[in-house]
Structure 1
């Protein structure tokens, strides 16, 4: 069942609210009822929302097998959706905390920058036909705009500048609107995210991979993620490989997952699902893997990185692509600092527990991740921006507390002694001109005789388990010279410091 069908009933129920919000946002573009200092921000965000609504409502802008839309047109649509955070455009985007603070002031700049970042998640919701999530974000935007409009109507700009209490009230009301939005809808967002992580029935990406014509690269634009040259060139290259080469890659990947269970004496027969992590562009390999996993009785579960504040993480997995702007992602890695307090932290812990309890039957069937990693990406050196949200010492403790509790909750419903994983790695085109050659040589290494190398690796492990320390010495111009202490092994027959990963 498609996402459009899954969300049909709730979309119908919110349609009137959506239309009202869209109408109100359309008026904002032409109004002059708020302080001039903030008008450009609200007009810019309103235009962005209008663009998302147009995309959502126009089926001709989406790819389907019979769609009369070209690859170039789809790429232009994709680029336009992410245009204000691409390249130099980000320097003057309200999604950039430095620019937002420069234009709107320190207090309002940070909070309104976060609001816009939250609203940018509507790109994903539009692709997934999640009209409820689009609508509630639109309503939040209108609510905040109304706060600024009311402040302007109550007193003119000169009086507002002189009246600190009025300015403080507006700021506090804005923060509260965003806080209660995130808190009130945390139950919805956390439940959907939990289900995406364990339930094959809420997985549009597996359907995209399994049923698209992968020879027609227009399918890439149905993810809803930014699609860069890396994803396009990766898919193009993998399409040049023979069926046998692709099958061998997938076979190594899938058998590595199965062998992880066998080597650890874990009950694969109890599992019915496997979560797949990979970079967009590897769909041909992933499709073969899906078929092989299904032959083993495992349904794939694939998700995209979360876009809402309550679920966003600093480390992402699932089906991922090259970020539209890595600095943007870095700038917003701690956006939750805007709202995080003990009450919200306790609430998200409780909601995570409730969500896993609700989906405990399907969660118990999750076997763990099968991961396709990549290497060869262009190095990124982030800039630490003073105006980006940062966690206070109290919030850092809350984040640590949440990580601890969430880990315990997940282990409760997806038992660690019943799950396994596998990891295989390939280069991406950004590694350089020799990408094709490097990729094929990597495939050769990945598909070496596992039995032979299992024994070789085990010999190395057995030796290292007897060591007091390992000395690492660089070669040539590499001046590395370090000693790494090994933990003491008291019973080599039952204990080891290493895992024999194949």
Structure 2
């Protein structure tokens, strides 16, 4: 059985002497920049990289648990800010990590390569924090090799590119495999020990995680350290109960002793502590392999998102897939016990929506590589599912705001708490009423108003036994918190029209005047006016909405019923900050790509209340799994939400008789759904 801690010890021992030797040589290099009289720019570049390496080698030697207790918070904050200062605007404008600046200095394509080279060494703060000596040793050798080539006058782009990318390629393959093993290794307890045993009222524990620590993160820790423990216990019960319920509601079984992976945002450790305790009380075993953190500069990461274009080829993809396959096999014991994930999808909940600066100097995948990347994603997904079948696992996702959302953070957090902990029983009954009406339809018509141009018909498969079958899932608080939606897998043929959003936010990226056109269930045209140049708009959609997929089907149609969430967001003026997890419950939403039942279409699912079986679990594309399995899935699912205020009507187009309004002018119009409008009335009374 693979032991991650033993792996790290062995790798460090193997590379320790090399690491010390290379550090000594780099210390000499740092003082040799006068040799670059004829190329001062390279001298400055190497001096800056060598300074990073030397500083981080010192940090690595000094870091241990006592270090964070022996230094006061002010000192740790200052050290953390120094580590990330260079990539925080405006310093980033003249950083070698900025491809625009690097190209200005070195020209193309060498400037892009050198920016990537510099980007590699920006990772050293994390390497030092986790004592990854073996990683630093390899990249130290690379630095020395590049330095000596340039010193001798070898500036051949192809040679330097091969030199740099050979090391990165090998390291990336190894890192991906180890990262997978880390996800499921019970012996890896670094973050779990922090959650369970650190003094979470003392923010100094944050700096043990090797991440950027923002003032907002510090504020979150202070807030949660004094938060009502009774409410935290309630929240933990809601989350773990939702996770438990997600199994029987999707026709699965949760075994005692199962492993549950937890992912969360730095600063939320106090909430996670209560969740861990609740999981253990239920006989479940928590895993935490990493923690997400606030990004110091989203433009920096955007600029480098396609750096792998330097080494992405068929050989790299094949080697990485083989390495992952070995990792799965070595983790087989843990994978058999793995039951799923509890995710705190905080991310951008509170941050200003991001509209990146499009830089010509940033690296981009070519058409061949985009296609290669799609094939790799599809193949790796299939490989994963062969070892972790979806019929075995489930998940629960929930979201809370970051203090970055503004001065009213505490009030907003408490209101989101109320939204996330609503009683699901009333929703189960009213959503059954909605589903009963929807099941009378051959299609659903969505029409926009208030300037919204949406005019879209969603086709539904026929119900052969409506007394015991349904097309829609009565979705409560299980896989997704908060409660509140009904959803289906549309029939592709007959699904036609336009989905229009004046302004929307997808995965934190802002889109203006987004228009998507569907013919027989497939996306055939897309437009946005986010940027002035049409080519930038099309590339933006391709990268952050379609993710290089062609001919995408519509995989889901849903109606959100959580009007309390909508009113809360309007009250605090935070609609633009909401994560999809909450915004999808506030009106209809549509998913590009696969259905919610991807790779588990044969799993029988029954709704609460009436116990009707959900039959709309696949469409014409996913049905190909029986004849052409390689063509059945996109391995992609992206939700797009249309808010209540943009809805003229959502109408059931019945097989016989008059059409039925579910929503009319942004309010629920179906008899039996009146209580869903109460939050609107209460907001009006205020």
Q: Which interval holds the TM-score relative to the shorter structure? A: 0.7 to 0.9
- Alignment partner for residue 490 of structure 1, among 434, 437, 462? 462
Q: Is the 8 A contact 2:52 2:121 kept in 1?
A: no
Where in structure 2 are the equivalents of 1:413-452 lying within 5 Å? 413-452=387-426
Residue deviations 1:442-501 (CA, integer Å, cap 9, x gap): 111211212332333343344334442143545xxx533534433413335445344614
Q: Describe the shift of the 1:458–1:243 C-alpha distance in structure 2 as closer, same or farther (beyond 3 A).
A: same
Structure 1 residue 212 displacement after superposition: 0.8
TM-score (norm 1): 0.87
Q: Is the 8 A contact 1:465 1:486 kept in 2?
A: no
Q: Give the aligned partner of residue 52 of structure 1.
A: 56
Higher RCO structure (Cα 8 Å, ≥6 apart): 1
Q: Give the aligned partner of residue 103 of structure 2.
A: 101
Q: Is the 8 A contact 2:256 2:283 kept in 1?
A: no
Q: Is the 8 A contact 1:115 1:178 kept in 2?
A: yes
Structure 1 residue 227 displacement after superposition: 0.9
Residue deviations 1:102-160 (CA, integer Å, cap 9, x gap): 112212211111112122222211111111012111111112112212326xxxxxxxx
Structure 1 residue 337 displacement after superposition: 0.5
Where in structure 2 are the equivalents of 1:249-264 lying within 5 Å? 249-264=235-250
Where in structure 2 are the equivalents of 1:5-44 lying within 5 Å? 7-31=8-32, 32-34=34-36, 35-44=39-48
User: d(CA) in 1 for partners of 2:391 and 2:470?
Assistant: 16
> SS state of the match for residue 454, structure 2?
strand
Residue deviations 1:353-405 (CA, integer Å, cap 9, x gap): 22112212212322222121232222221111111111000000111011101
Where in structure 2 are the equivalents of 1:97-496 lying within 5 Å? 97-151=99-153, 167=155, 170-269=156-255, 272-304=258-290, 319-374=291-346, 375-467=349-441, 468-471=443-446, 473=448, 478-480=450-452, 482-491=454-463, 493-494=468-469, 496=471
The structure whose residues are more often helix, as a share, is 1
The structure whose residues are more often strand, as a share, is 2
> SS state of the match for residue 148, structure 1?
helix
User: d(CA) in 2 for partners of 1:7 and 1:58?
Assistant: 18
Range with bigger deviation, 321-330 or 116-125: 116-125
Q: Is the 8 A contact 2:52 2:124 kept in 1?
A: no
Q: Give the aligned partner of residue 684 of structure 2.
A: none
Q: Is the 8 A contact 1:247 1:288 kept in 2?
A: yes
Residue deviations 1:401-429 (CA, integer Å, cap 9, x gap): 11101110111111111111111122221
Q: Is the 8 A contact 1:108 1:171 kept in 2?
A: yes
> SS state of the match for residue 379, structure 1?
coil
Q: Is the 8 A contact 1:230 1:430 kept in 2?
A: yes
Q: Is the 8 A contact 2:444 2:457 kept in 1?
A: yes
Residue deviations 1:71-121 (CA, integer Å, cap 9, x gap): 111111111111210121111111110111111221221111111212222
Q: Describe the shift of the 1:370–1:138 C-alpha distance in structure 2 as closer, same or farther (beyond 3 A).
A: same
RMSD: 2.2
- Structure 1's unaligned 5+ residue stretches are 153-166, 305-318
TM-score (norm 2): 0.65
Range with bigger deviation, 182-191 or 228-237: 182-191
Q: Describe the shift of the 1:65–1:108 C-alpha distance in structure 2 as closer, same or farther (beyond 3 A).
A: closer
Structure 1 residue 41 displacement after superposition: 0.6
User: d(CA) in 2 for partners of 1:213 and 1:97?
Assistant: 41
Structure 1 residue 352 displacement after superposition: 1.4
User: d(CA) in 1 for partners of 2:248 and 2:24?
Assistant: 59
Q: Give the aligned partner of residue 78 of structure 1.
A: 80
> SS state of the match for residue 144, structure 1?
helix
User: d(CA) in 2 for partners of 1:264 and 1:388?
Assistant: 44
User: d(CA) in 2 for partners of 1:435 and 1:320?
Assistant: 20
Q: Is the 8 A contact 2:235 2:421 kept in 1?
A: yes
Q: Describe the shift of the 1:409–1:349 C-alpha distance in structure 2 as closer, same or farther (beyond 3 A).
A: same
Which structure: larger Rg?
2
> SS state of the match for residue 69, structure 2?
coil
User: d(CA) in 2 for partners of 1:450 and 1:65?
Assistant: 47
Residue deviations 1:256-298 (CA, integer Å, cap 9, x gap): 1111112112121176212212221111111110111222333
Q: Describe the shift of the 1:430–1:66 C-alpha distance in structure 2 as closer, same or farther (beyond 3 A).
A: closer
